Amino acid sequence: MPIEKGSWKDSNWYVSLSGFWREYRRHRIGVAGILVILLFFGMAIFAPLLATYDPSPNNKIAPPFLAPAWTQVFDPGSVENGQYLPDPTLSTPYSADDPLGTNEIVVYGNPTYGNGSSFTGHHHIATGPGDHNYVSLKWTHQAGDEPRFNLLPTIGSDMPDTLDFIYFKQSFEWPYERLPNDVVVSFNFSTYLTGDFASNSRGGLMFKIYVWLIDSSGNWRMIYESYPPYTETIQGRLIDLNWFDILEGWKGMVDTGDGQEDPTDVLTMAIGLAPTLTFRTDNNYDHFDGSVEARFSHVKLYAYGDYFGIMGTTDKGGDAWSQLVYGSRISLIIGLLATALSTAVGVIVGMVAGYFGGKTDEILMRVVDFLLVIPGLPLMMVLAAFLGPTIQNIIVVIAILGWTGTSRLIRSQVLAEKNKAYVESARAIGASDTYIIFRHILPNVTPILFANITLGVVGAILSEAGLSFLGLTDPSEPSWGRMLADARASGGFSNGAWWVVVFPGMMITALSLAFTFVGHTLDQVLNPRLRER
């Protein structure tokens, strides 16, 4: 169908853009650069959807220096990250038919002592909205009774002070022949005190809540003991096991070359309630009446292997993939805004100096020469340290030193343009200098500016990465330079954590090359001398 005369496709801007694109797409390297830049823009825009965890560099979500999960294919038999307790929500009461004894409540020793003092427990199943499953452990004490204490406790013993206490347990099989890299245990609990336990200010010292690991040969390893205050409000506890806890708990199930200590690959986690020896010397048990009930819910044991996520973890245990994704935002924001600010300053200074000449040109160019003589990175470091490590200040710091090259380029073009006939004609009809500069000269020097802008973005991105690497940017903001700095400070390569260095470096290189390719292509398309070649 023929195009009607006067349609939008006949407009000057459409014809100019069409011609520009026809010429630009002949350069494959320029098209590749645009595609890469669009990819990074998509990553920055959809970062909340792409990131799998909080990207804060100080947010630990796994052990440090875990390798990317996809490299696990080269390590058969490695430990997989996961929740290993069979019933973390306590939804299934103990049944004798369950070989692992899910949520079994056990009284260690005697369930009763003295004149009615006892240990009891029950399993509660949620019955409606707002309710939740929990296991209740209760200790009831009568005045005049005294728990059976271990009068000769072993120093550093993992057992409580008393010979009688109550606990519930869950067991699970360990399917690997390796120790986990790290283990995190978590649970929620609330306490209900009655009688003297509630009214006496020291009542909270008469009992403790314990967590143990029990291997199948019967060895108990205490990994947690509680301290007051206690409330009826549900409290969460997170226990990050140390290496000795993991070694003692798992070593019997792992073949270390001398054969296995345990007869089966079963590990049990137990949570218990027990009296303490605190008040025995004061004879307070003689006149204490009351009860302690502890309710436990959401009991979890999460074990980490040697691999995690798309790109592993950082030196602080952060998710490297999430930081990498959000780092694209920092690089693009600082690169584009700093270049825009420095370009605006450079264009104004260059046009004023070139158009007016004389003393104005001399003064402005001497300022430019002064800034060009000073080493850029040291000055940036001083300014960044003085102004503070915010994104806004980093943009200003980079822009302060980024406009000098643009001003010299624009000045040289303005010197060539201001004596041409169209400028003389504008002066003859009484046009003001401001009108001539921005209406006539600026449009004619703009094409040569586009290539300079794209190359300026590269410089800004590299400057931000350098300042981040030196620790002069906001430590709470994830950036590629910050990832490299953390990797260097913590010995990423010496620890074999190549991913915390390679991937941020690749991102900086890829984005910088993409803008360089686009700038090189723009220079070839818009520069008449290069186009003639």
Q: What is the pLDDT of residues 363-404, one digit of tens each?
A: 999 998 888 888 777 878 888 888 888 888 889 888 888 888
Which helix (H) or strand (E) is 79 found in, with range? none
pLDDT at 10: 58
In the numeric block, the tokens 């048990």 are attached to: 285
Report the C-alpha gap between 73 and 484 in whole angstroms: 26
Which helix (H) or strand (E) is 48 found in, with range? helix 47-50
In the numeric block, the tokens 């390590």 are attached to: 75
Which helix (H) or strand (E) is 208 found in, with range? strand 207-215
Q: Given a cut of 70, is residue 515 above it in pLDDT?
A: yes
Asked, colleague to colleague, whether 37-49+320-532 and 82-304 share their fold, the answer is no
Categorize the per-residue pLDDT at 178 as very low, low, confident or very high, splitting at 50, 70 and 90: confident
Phi, psi of 292 (to 5 degrees): -125, 125
Question: Helices H, strands E: what count in the chain?
Answer: 16, 12
Which residue did the predictor score with more confidence, 220 or 523?
A: 220
- Per-residue pLDDT of 91-136, as tens digits, reads 988 877 766 668 999 999 999 988 889 999 999 999 888 889 999 9
Domain residue ranges in the chain = 37-49+320-532, 82-304
Sign of CA dihedral 255, 261, 262, 266: negative
Which CATH architecture does the domain made up of 37-49+320-532 adopt?
A: Orthogonal Bundle (1.10)
Mean pLDDT to the nearest integer, 217-237: 92
Mean pLDDT to the nearest integer, 174-185: 90
Categorize the per-residue pLDDT at 1 as very low, low, confident or very high, splitting at 50, 70 and 90: very low
- Per-residue pLDDT of 437-466, as tens digits, reads 888 888 888 877 887 888 889 999 999 898
Share of the chain above pLDDT 70, in %: 91
**For all residues of the chain together, what is the average pLDDT?**
86
Report CA-CA distances (Å) from 459 to 26, 28, 195, 464.
Answer: 26, 23, 72, 9
Q: Which residues contact 492 (CB under 8 A, 6 or more apart)?
A: 65, 315, 486, 498, 500, 501
Mean pLDDT to the nearest integer, 197-215: 90
Whether the link from the prior residue into 88 is cis, omega within 30° of 0, is no
pLDDT at 256: 54
Which residue did the predictor score with more confidence, 435 or 133?
A: 133
Mean pLDDT to the nearest integer, 416-440: 84
Which CATH architecture does the domain made up of 82-304 adopt?
A: Sandwich (2.60)
Which residue did the predictor score with more confidence, 451 or 515?
A: 515
- Per-residue pLDDT of 32-67, as tens digits, reads 999 999 999 999 999 999 999 999 988 888 999 999
Q: What is the pTM of this model?
A: 0.80
Q: Any idea which of 137-141, 176-180, 327-331 has the lowest mean pLDDT?
A: 176-180
Phi, psi of 521 (to 5 degrees): -70, -40
